[in-house]
Amino acid sequence: MGDSERSEPEEEIMEATYEALCEHGYADLTVQRIATKLEKSTAAIHYHYDTKDELLVAFLEYLLDGMDEWLKADDEDAPRERLSSLLDSLLPEEPHDEGFTVAMTDMRAQAPHNEAFREQFVERDAYTLDLLAAAIEDGIEEGTFREVEPRGAARSLLTIADGGWSRYVVLDDDDALVRARGTAREYVEGSLEATTEG
């Protein structure tokens, strides 16, 4: 996914945007504040991105690219372990970056007001769903999982993950991710894994 080429100055603008977003939130994110983090003028930013909206669309792509790093499924693994490690990376024990989750939540809330944002989230979601569904499907063929609808089950797990992140950020609940991980595990055990046979 993604990995669009970014020039050195553009990369710096993305980092500055990230810092400004974490500190001020989307509603108070201004080109001036990004420029301050960048330690350059606002004109320097408009030189690379014509409008603020264009900058933010590029920034969302940058944010989502960053997620690619830590969502890996080892095709060598058995389906159950592959699904488990996918869930571990979706709901990590230790969130990678404090501000990242806040920034992501801020951007997600803009989706209803910005079609370009929403399209990127939808695309990303479809990609993650495919990874989960593939692991589940393999597990069904193998006999590890029951004959459920793979994409439906994958969507259930993504719903649990999204809910966990939402609660982690909104309620400032440090345990929300670990708990959601537990809920996901329960769901796998209760609705996916084959009932004790033999």
Task: Round to whole Å and give the CA distance between 48 and 6.
Answer: 11
Residue 70 as a binder of DNA (CB under 7 A): the answer is: no
Q: Which two tokens stand for residue 149?
A: 């609808």
Q: Is the CB of residue 108 less than 8 Å from the CB of residue 166?
A: no
Stretch that binds a copy of itself, among 37-45, 67-75, 79-87, 112-120 (CB under 8 A): 112-120
Site for a copy of itself in 125-184 (CB under 8 A): 125, 152, 155-156, 158-164, 166-167, 169-172, 176, 179-180, 182-183
Helix (H) or strand (E) holding 131: helix 115-142
Give the interface segment with a copy of itself, choosing from 10-18, 33-41, 61-69, 110-118 (CB under 8 A): 110-118
Least separation in angstroms between CB 83 and a copy of itself = 16
> Which CB sits closer to DNA, 8 or 69?
8
- Taking the complex as a whole, how short is the minimal distance between the CB of residue 185 and DNA, in angstroms? 43
Minimum distance, C-beta of residue 40 to DNA, in the bound complex (Å): 3
Residue 43 found at the interface with DNA (CB under 7 A): yes
Distances (CA, A) of 172 to 8, 43, 72, 102, 121: 35, 36, 27, 10, 23
User: Cβ(79)–Cβ(135) under 8 Å?
Assistant: yes
Cα gap 111→75, rounded to integer Å: 32
Contact between residue 95 and residue 120 where contact means Cβ atoms under 8 Å apart: no
110 binds a copy of itself (CB under 8 A): yes
Backbone CA torsion sign across 151, 102, 68, 142: negative
| Minimum gap (Å) between residue 160 Cβ and DNA | 36
Token pair in block for residue 62? 């940058």
Secondary structure class of 146 (helix, strand, coil): coil
Residue 5 Cβ vs a copy of itself, minimum distance, rounded to whole Å:
27
Contact positions vs DNA (CB under 7 A): 9, 12, 29-33, 40-44, 46-47, 50-53
Contact positions vs a copy of itself (CB under 8 A): 24-29, 102, 105-106, 108-113, 118, 121-122, 125, 152, 155-156, 158-164, 166-167, 169-172, 176, 179-180, 182-183, 186-187, 189-191
